Amino acid sequence: MSFADLGLSDELLQAVETAGYSEPTPIQAQAIPPVLMMKDLIGIAQTGTGKTASFVLPMIDILAHGRRRALMPRSLILEPTRELAAQVAENFEKYGKNHDLKMALLIGGVQMGDQVKALQEGVDVLIATPGRLMDLFERGKILLTGCELLVIDEADRMLDMGFIPDIETICSKLPTNRQTLLFSATMPPVIKKLADRFLSNPKYIEVARPASTNTNIAQHKVTVSSRKKRDVLRHLLRTDNVSTAIIFANRKTTVRELAKSLKRHGFAAGEIHGDMDQPARLAELQRFKDGVVNILVASDVAARGLDVKGVSHVFNFDTPWHPDDYVHRIGRTGRGGASGRAFTLVAPEDAEAIEGVEKLTGGKIPLFEVALDDAAPAPARSAEREEKPRRDKRERPERAERSERSERRPARERTPERAPSRDARPAPETVRDEKPVRDAKPARSDARRSRRREEEPADMGWNGPIPEFLGVSALA
């Protein structure tokens, strides 16, 4: 079967051919005809099978006829992340170059000015994340009453990110008489309830059972201690014929630290995580696509739908907490019929998480043996970190020895010379001979005051030592 058999227009077929595609994937072959017939649809397919083109291509032909109006988009595509939204926008630009269609991208992390201006001029396709769309809707910058086609992409990811209440609110603002398409890699009960509520007699398409993984991806798990994870990862990067790789971690701090560590060890690594602003994330992703860096360390913001050609490996530095994320993570490789390899580093604390993954995917992940002795040695920087405690141990006895010498030192060595013992100061003989004993007291009092003036600050209102942070001048 070819794209020409699916009922697409000649202009669209030309754009598809220019993009280098000749045969549709199974999800595209089954989804495009009913979408062109204006039917509601539920598409369940594993990641990397071409879900995006299965709704972008028919939407272009559907929207080719009609007129756009200010603030009222004709169609709406909801995406869970900024990266996915930007990727769908790229697909529209690529396949819709022979059509007079305007598109707007509403995502967070960028200023609203240009987005509002595009809406005021009128758009045929609005691609948005739920948060930014709700924000503009509440500000009165957008009307949804003219939207005739709704696409909810990566619905299970919407559920994970807590967007389902927003999705329900958005759907309630749309016209009742509309076409709705829902795509997902998995179909949890909450998503099914959403589909039952907002879709009308949908056509159900499933090209692979929910939560199944791509058979073109060779999966492996590596049991390793937590402190050896980085060593094993570097060993695999050096020895497993890696051309380009995405490394996933559960925490943003881990992403940052791991990227820095790989750079120190000579790898061309970049990073993407939720703490980065949108321009920085897009720039880093573009560097990876352009080959400036061949390793991308990422959090789960990059786990869904990112389509980067030629990714040979996926590494789960951390076993994902949610089993569904495993399917999406490893789906970044083995795309478009290509083969790929996926490694999951399993520490003792990941036992429950990997059990959940294997239960979801329906089989044990093959164990890959890595001899720790074969792992690449740590660089000089790591050696310095290991030597530091030994250096401290050599210094501590020296400090203790100095303290002991100070304690053993005779009292006369520790007593300041300017404050001699009163018993050691001889009294003048003439004073004792010429005056009574009671008259000698003022003399001793004067001597004490003299010593006090030498030892204490001039301000007699302060009886303690001078604080170091103030200095003498502050009290003078």
Instruction: Per-residue pLDDT tens, the chain, 476 aa: give them.
Output: 899 999 999 999 999 999 989 899 999 999 999 999 999 999 998 766 788 999 999 999 999 988 999 999 999 999 998 888 988 999 999 999 999 999 999 998 888 899 999 999 999 999 999 999 999 999 999 999 999 999 999 998 898 788 999 999 999 999 999 999 999 877 889 999 999 999 999 999 998 665 677 788 999 999 999 999 999 999 999 999 999 999 999 999 999 999 999 999 999 999 998 888 878 888 998 999 999 999 999 998 777 657 788 899 999 999 998 887 898 899 889 887 788 999 999 999 999 999 999 998 888 999 999 876 544 444 434 333 433 444 443 333 333 333 334 444 444 444 444 444 444 444 444 434 444 444 444 445 454 554 444 444 444 444 445 444 444 444 33
Question: Does pTM top 0.75 for this prediction?
Answer: no
CATH classification of the domain holding 153? 3.40.50.300
Among candidate residues 166, 183, 206, the one where a domain is terminated:
206
Q: Count up the domains in the chain and report the number.
A: 3
In a domain, 410, yes or no: no
Domain match, 340 and 432 both? no
Q: Determine, yes or no, domain membership for 335.
A: yes
Task: Say if residue 180 is in the same domain as residue 112.
Answer: yes
In this structure, is residue 287 part of a structural domain?
yes
Q: What is the pLDDT of residue 47?
A: 66
Q: Kindly state whether residue 407 falls inside one of the protein's structural domains.
A: no
My answer on whether 143 and 239 are in the same domain is no
The pLDDT score that the predictor gives to residue 45 is 82
Same domain, residue pair 157 and 222: no
Q: Decide if 325 is inside a domain.
A: yes
17 token code pair: 């051919």
Judge if 152 and 283 occupy the same domain: no
Provide the residue range defining the domain that includes 112. 3-206
pLDDT at 26: 92
Report d(CA 438, CA 445) in Å as an integer.
12
* Tokens representing residue 42 in the block: 């539920």
Q: Are residues 58 and 160 in the same domain?
A: yes
Q: Is residue 344 part of a domain?
A: yes
Identify whether residues 91 and 164 lie together within a single domain: yes
Same domain, 116 and 140: yes
Q: Which amino acid is at 255?
A: V
Cα-Cα-Cα-Cα torsion 117, 122, 124, 128, nearest 10 degrees, comes to 30
Q: What confidence score (pLDDT) does residue 372 get?
A: 60
Mind giving me the DSSP string for 140-191?
Answer: T----TT--EEEE-SHHHHHHTT-HHHHHHHHHHS-SS-EEEEEES---HHH
d(CA 146, CA 153): 20
Cα angle: 324, vertex 330, 334; to 5 degrees: 135
Q: Are residues 165 and 244 in the same domain?
A: no
Are 181 and 241 contained in the same domain? no
Residues 68, 69, 74: CA angle, nearest 5 degrees: 55
Q: Does residue 408 fall inside a structural domain?
A: no
